[in-house]
Amino acid sequence: MAQPTSPPAGDPHRPVQGVLWMLVTTLCFTAVNVIVHYLGADLPAAQSSFLRFAWGVLFVAPALWAGLRARYGRAIWGLFALRGAMQSVAVLLWFFAMARTPIADVTAIGYLNPIVVTLGGALLLGEGFAWRRGLAVIVALIGALIILRPGVREILPGHIAQLGAAIFFGLSYLTAKKLSGVAPAAFIVAMMTTVVTIFLAPFAIAVWQPLSWSEFLWLGATALIGTVAHYAMTRAFQCAPVTVTQPVVFTQLVFASTAGWIFFGETVDPYVILGGGLIIGAISYVTFREAQLKRRTLTPPPPATKA
């Protein structure tokens, strides 16, 4: 079947709007982190994540119904399924990690997502791999080692789970970026939510246990906030390149550390801040430099802008 005759509205050269949308994304994801950490490990990760996305289907149903009538090609539907599968693995691992590991640790390790995006962009999207990207990868991996400190501190199962989640979230984001050029943001989020719910259903049924109304409603809140976050993220992708919007995500370490201290009395591990800072610095530097090079190449001289 043919793809839509006209692409979704969106100008990929609105950096301010892209940054603001990504800031909304970051604040929403921090709120979800706090709620899931508050709920703890009483419920299995598969059940918690399934209920979060099952709630989400209710919120995205109108966009899902409208989007299903569009005429997308098989390749696009395949990308929707692929993103859903990768997101399912990522959220399973993330729910497990967030319920059992300090918020700041999970957030700092999650900053490896851009490393996956950087490598994936070079290998899968043909974005190239300059030496700056290679240096950023090395520095970021050093930062991850400082956070984990194998042999010096106890590496919790949640740390390992979050490493896996970072990989699959990064792959999911790459797929979302690919889809953002051919489908509306609302439908991309709706399809992700629906496919993840379907993928997680059998895992949740296998470990299902009774839950309270409070747990059920809190998971509904994560669904609402998470749906807003994914919508805002997709809008950010449509407004500006990843190199512009990605650095905003790094503010989440500040939000997460503050929330962990205020709500849960978690002391901030200086090594977590140091390792997270190295990852942030590496990605921010390569992002800034590559954005500069693109402007030199793509920005027309001033007279050419006066049509």
Q: How many CB atoms lie within 10 A of CB 120?
A: 18
**Going residue by residue through the chain (307 aa), what tens digit of pLDDT does each one get?**
333 333 344 455 677 888 889 889 989 989 998 999 898 878 899 999 999 899 989 988 988 888 888 888 888 899 999 999 999 999 999 999 988 888 888 888 887 877 777 777 667 666 666 666 777 778 888 888 888 887 677 788 888 999 999 889 888 888 888 888 888 888 988 999 999 999 999 999 999 999 999 999 999 999 899 888 878 888 887 887 766 777 777 777 778 888 888 888 888 788 888 888 888 777 777 666 666 655 543 333 333 333 4
Q: What is the pTM of this model?
A: 0.74
Instruction: Spell out the domain ranges in the chain.
Output: 15-298
So what's the pLDDT on residue 291?
Answer: 61
CA gap 239, 24 in Å, rounded: 14
Write phi, then psi, for 153 (nearest 5 degrees).
-125, 165
Per-residue CA distances from 227 to 24, 29, 46, 68 (Å): 12, 10, 18, 18
So what's the pLDDT on residue 147?
Answer: 84
So what's the pLDDT on residue 50?
Answer: 94
Q: Which residue shows structure tokens 């962009």?
A: 121
So what's the pLDDT on residue 270?
Answer: 84
So what's the pLDDT on residue 155?
Answer: 82
So what's the pLDDT on residue 289?
Answer: 65
What are the tokens at 149? 């400190």
Do 303 and 139 form a contact (C-beta atoms < 8 A)? no
